[in-house]
Amino acid sequence: MVYRNGDFLRYRGLSGGISRACYAKSEMISGYGYGPCGEGKGVASESSLVESDGCRMYYTVDVCSKFSYGRRAISSQADATKDESEVISEPELSDDEYIEEPNQNKLELSETEAELGENIASRKSEGFELFKAISAAPGLSIQTALDKWVEEGKYLGREEIALAIRNLWKRQLYGRALQLSKWLDSNKPLEFTERDYASRLNLIAKGRDIKEAESYVTKIPQSFRGEVIYRTLLANCVSGINVKKAEEVFNKMKDLGFPITSLTCNQLLLLYKRVDKKKIADVLLLMDKENIRPTLFTYTILIDSKGQSNDIDGMDQIVEKMKAQGIEPDVHMQAILAKHYISGGLKEKAEALLKEMEGGNLKEIRWACRALLPLYAALGKIDEVDRVWKVCESNPSRDECMAAIGAWGSLNKIDEAEAVFERMSKACKKLSSRHYSSLLNVYANHKMLTKGKDLIKRMADSCGCRIGPFTWDAIVKLYVEAGEVEKADSVLQKIAERLANELKPTAIYSSDLKRAKDTADMIAKKCYCPKVIVVPELKERHVGSLQGLYWKEGEEKEPEAYRAFFSTQDDLEIPGGGESFNQLQERSMDAIEKIASMHKGERVIVVSHGGVLRAIYLYITKAAVAGKLLNASVNVLHFSNGDWDIKSWSDVSHLKGVGFLERGFNGDSINA
């Protein structure tokens, strides 16, 4: 697997990943790790479990070169803005914005503020207090906390509930938000509207799965089962890149006689921007036929799609057409345009657009600073980053701080990045692991192992915060970049323990790269499996003359190979003996299908690499992997009657309480 340079990732929209693993019967679990390929090393492995008509396959991936490779990832990724490691490093469309368009993420107010006739500031305070009471409730149930709230005579209005759910949502406490919604329905403190049912549907889809969300739709009273309900379901199908289900829901909406709106069409545009850009034209034809006027959001999607395809002229043509329709670009669209100009090498054009974004007084559009900081950094404009930061410096938000940390880090200004982090740390009572990850990634990108370990220790000692998957990603990356691959072995041990506890594999397969084999041997020992079978076809994609180079080196020294690697032409081979994506996908699928056919009714573990997993994922889902393939994550696939089905992806639940980080609490075992 190719290991990517940090600032390349931020501005090419590529998703990261290190090494992965796969399994076959009709269940597939996958996890991964990474290390320098040339040295035959790797770190955290990913495993995949596949079940076929009796055959299960675990598929583990390993990273092996200085390139970190992602299959045609996109700017608009599911929950991209929620990634703990993606520190507002680029302005981009996200599915959260997409779902927010119809305001589905929370219970909405049906009354106006005037109708409420209450002090809004006071209500916001009570809404936050309600959130704190729910989040602090011990155990799994929040009913006692809610009952106590009512017994104490505290106000429980629609706005308080909306604010509480919003805060639970932001912290991904979907289960508690869903319990609150159920409690409201049972206790009837207020009358449910269609929006309230849509809110619960959204929580079920996010916290559970689409199948359960579909089932809930049938339980909603018929009088409330309107367009908002189905639009919410459609939004979640798109967020999960479930093309078949999204199209089914869209057709269901037409059958039910719901009007086709720009909101619905925008959802389809987002979906096809991610999985099949050719179908975008079909949606536009439908909009034209139904006389649906494109919105600003429609144009934003189309512009981003053109930018992803490096069609700068096409992108500019859309802007001109939009302006001719009387729609002017907002700051968000301008940021997307600037990002693609930078990627296309049009630095002067990008800088001019950034100046236009600022307007006459940046202080009046302070919220634009989060986008401007990383964009100016991508242009190498140290003075501009400093100027924009000074606008925020007196009273910065956490998001502005994280954007500044990433910007200074990409400019090799480590002292400045650290100063911003310290300011954020002093100003905030408690930082989450996401905030620590912003600086941790800077240290990882610059191979500053000692400082990184000190920060990990500080994170563990000072806040006892939950360590999310993207923080694990940064921690493992830190050791790998510093050449201390063995320090992540405890993560591999955790994967092996999980696989050993959950299944009893009949066989374990591995690619022929050393670290993948080492990972497989470790898992085999835990699973009491006597032999690891080496399958060369499971190795990472050969990137030709790019092999062993960093992105910037590849772009300068091997421009033809560099362009071939990022080409959307899947049959284009990389010069220097490299593979096309089609060749990678064909051998990857051949390998796992042969393994599955030999192990019907059994469980098998396969240790391989990120590029292989991405190729397999695209083959099965017809969609690129959304987001990162996380270090040491686990994916579950089922294979039955010749069909593959992905049951879960990027599961990191087994990393909770991993000893690797726990040792940081006593401060002595993290040292090299």
Cite the annotated binding site by residue number: 515
411: tokens are: 């400019």
Q: Could you tell me the CA-to-CA distances from 37 to 45, 65, 158, 512 in Å, in that order? A: 14, 4, 56, 12
Helix, strand, coil abundance in the chain, percent, nearest 5: 60, 10, 30
Which residues carry a binding-site annotation for substrate? 515
Residue 642: count other Cβ atoms within 10 Å of its Cβ: 9
260 within 8 A of 231, measured Cβ to Cβ: no
Measured CA to CA, the distance from residue 46 to residue 476 in angstroms comes to 13
Q: In whole angstroms, what is the distance from residue 80 CA to residue 88 CA?
A: 10
Alpha helices in 379-427 (DSSP H): 382-393, 398-410, 414-427
Between CA 651 and CA 656 the distance in angstroms is: 11
Non-local CB neighbours of 581 within 8 Å, separated by 6+ positions? 71, 72, 541, 570, 571, 615
The encoded tokens of residue 226 equal: 């309107």
Partnered with residue 94 across adjacent β-strands are 77
Q: Return contacts of 320-327, CB within 8 angstroms, 24+ apart.
A: 322/294, 322/296, 325/293, 325/294, 327/294, 327/295, 327/296, 327/299
Number of H helices, E strands in the chain: 31, 9
Q: Do 652 and 469 touch, CB atoms closer than 8 A?
A: yes
User: Hey, which residues does 632 pair with through a beta bridge?
Assistant: none
Q: Pairing state of beta strands 602-609 and 507-510? A: parallel
Which residues contact residue 154 at a Cβ distance below 8 angstroms, ignoring those fewer than 6 apart? 126, 129, 130
DSSP 8-state code for residue 543: -
Provide the 3-class DSSP secondary structure of residue 409. Answer: helix
Q: How far apart are CA 62 and CA 49, in angstroms?
A: 16
Task: List phi, psi (to 5°) of 311.
Answer: -95, 80
Whole-angstrom distance, CA of residue 397 vs CA of residue 671: 33
The letter for the amino acid at 578 is G
Element (H or E) spanning 267, and its range?
helix 262-275
Closest CA to 125 of 83, 94, 95, 167: 167
CA atoms of 131 and 138, how far apart (whole Å): 14
Crossing angle of helices 262-275/227-239, nearest 10°? 10
CA 369 to chain centre: 23
